A and B are shown apart, each in its own frame.
Chain A
Amino acid sequence: MEEGFNAYRQSLESEEQSIKSTQSVVEQAIAWFRAHSMFVLAYGTGCGAIEMPPTFTSRYDIERLGVVGVATPRQADILIVSGYCSPKTLKRVIRSYEQMSDPKYIIGLGSCTINGGMYWDSYNTIKKLDDFLPVDMYVNGCMPRPEALIEGFVKLQEKIRLNSSEAGYIKYRDNYAHYRANQERLFGAQVAPSYEENFAGMN
Chain B
Amino acid sequence: MVLIDCFLMLLLAYGFGFLYYGLYRNLSARVHGRFGPSLAQSFFDSVKLFVKEQSTTFGWMFYAGPIIMATGAVLNVLFIPFINHGDSLQGLSSSANLIVVLYLMVLGPLGNALGVGSNGNPFGVMGITRGLTRLIALELPFYLAVIGVMIDAGSADFSAIFEAQSQEMNLLKHPLLFMAAFISFLGFMGKSPFDVVGAPQEVYSGPATEFSGKFFALLLSQSAMFSFAKLLLMVNLFLGGADDLGDLVLKTFVLFVAATFIGSVYARFSTIQSVEFLMRIPTLLGIVGLALL
Contacts and interface: CB of A to CB of B under 8 A. Distances in A.
Bound together: yes
Interface of A: 30, 33-34, 36-37, 39, 57-58, 61, 63-66, 68-72, 74-75, 77, 99-103, 202
Given A57-B34, A61-B34, A72-B205, A102 B48 contact: no
A74 B212 contact: yes
Given A75-B212, A101-B52, A64 B35 contact: yes
A72 B34 contact: no
Contacts of A57: 32, 34
Contacts of B56: 74, 99, 101
10 smallest beta-carbon distances between A and B, as pairs = A71-B200, A74-B212, A101-B54, A61-B34, A102-B53, A37-B48, A71-B205, A58-B33, A37-B44, A37-B45
A61 B211 CA distance: 26
Given A64-B37, A66-B38, A71-B204, 14 more contacts: A30-B51, A37-B41, A58-B34, A63-B25, A63-B29, A63-B36, A68-B37, A70-B200, A74-B209, A74-B210, A74-B216, A75-B212, A100-B212, A103-B52
B47 interface: yes
B175 interface: no
22 contacts: A33-B47, A33-B48, A39-B45, A61-B34, A63-B25, A63-B29, A64-B34, A65-B37, A66-B37, A66-B44, A68-B37, A72-B205, A74-B56, A74-B209, A74-B216, A75-B205, A75-B208, A75-B211, A75-B212, A102-B53, A103-B53, A202-B53
A158 B175 CA distance: 53
B194 to A, nearest CB: 19
Nearest to B52: A101
B35 A34 contact: no
B201 interface: yes
Contacts, number: 84
A94 to B, nearest CB: 17
Contacts of B15: none
Contacts of B34: 57-58, 61, 63-64
Contacts of B201: 71
A63 B45 CA distance: 12
Contacts of A33: 44, 47-48, 51
